[in-house]
Amino acid sequence: MRVRRLVAGATATGLLAGGAALGLSGTAVAAPAPTTAPTALVGDHHDRCEWVKGHWEKKWVKGHWEKKVQYTKTWHKGHYDKHGSWHKGYWDYDRHYTWVYVHGHWHYYWVKGHWDCHHK
């Protein structure tokens, strides 16, 4: 995010300086060309930084308790009601939460590409 903002700011500065120079050259032909200081990007950090591409990393997660969803199926048998009508059996699906112990495991996660800067 910081790099994008930096590049956008440098681009805007370059466009403004270029537009001002072009505007001045059109109105005052006899005037000497305006001297502009060389604009160096504030983000020029190649001497101490390197780009690290996005990659997968793994981290050990120790055992812990988690709240998980449990789905249960219950069969309700068919029956005759008091009027003698038959009601067919059916499956009832129920959902509830329960605490489950999860053993230690490796967790893989994606690391976005970023600048890795070493302060010298």
Q: What is the pLDDT of residues 7-29, one digit of tens each?
A: 677 676 765 666 655 565 555 55
The pLDDT of residue 85 is 95
Structure tokens at 64: 């812990």
The pLDDT of residue 4 is 72
* 16 belongs to a structural domain: yes
* 21 belongs to a structural domain: yes
* 120 belongs to a structural domain: no
* 112 belongs to a structural domain: no
Amino acid occupying residue 112: K
Residue 37 vs residues 14, 17, 44: alpha-carbon distances, Å:
11, 10, 16
* 7 belongs to a structural domain: yes
Average pLDDT score over the chain: 80
Torsion on CA atoms 15, 18, 22, 24, rounded to nearest 10: 110
Spatial CA neighbour of 67 closest among 100, 43, 90, 96: 100
Structure tokens at 83: 């009027």
The pLDDT of residue 31 is 59
Q: Domain range holding 12?
A: 1-33
Indicate the number of domains in the chain: 1
3-state class (DSSP) for residue 42: coil
The pLDDT of residue 88 is 94
* 11 belongs to a structural domain: yes
Structure tokens at 3: 């790099």
pLDDT digit string, tens, across residues 32-81: 666 655 555 555 656 788 899 999 999 999 999 999 999 999 999 999 99
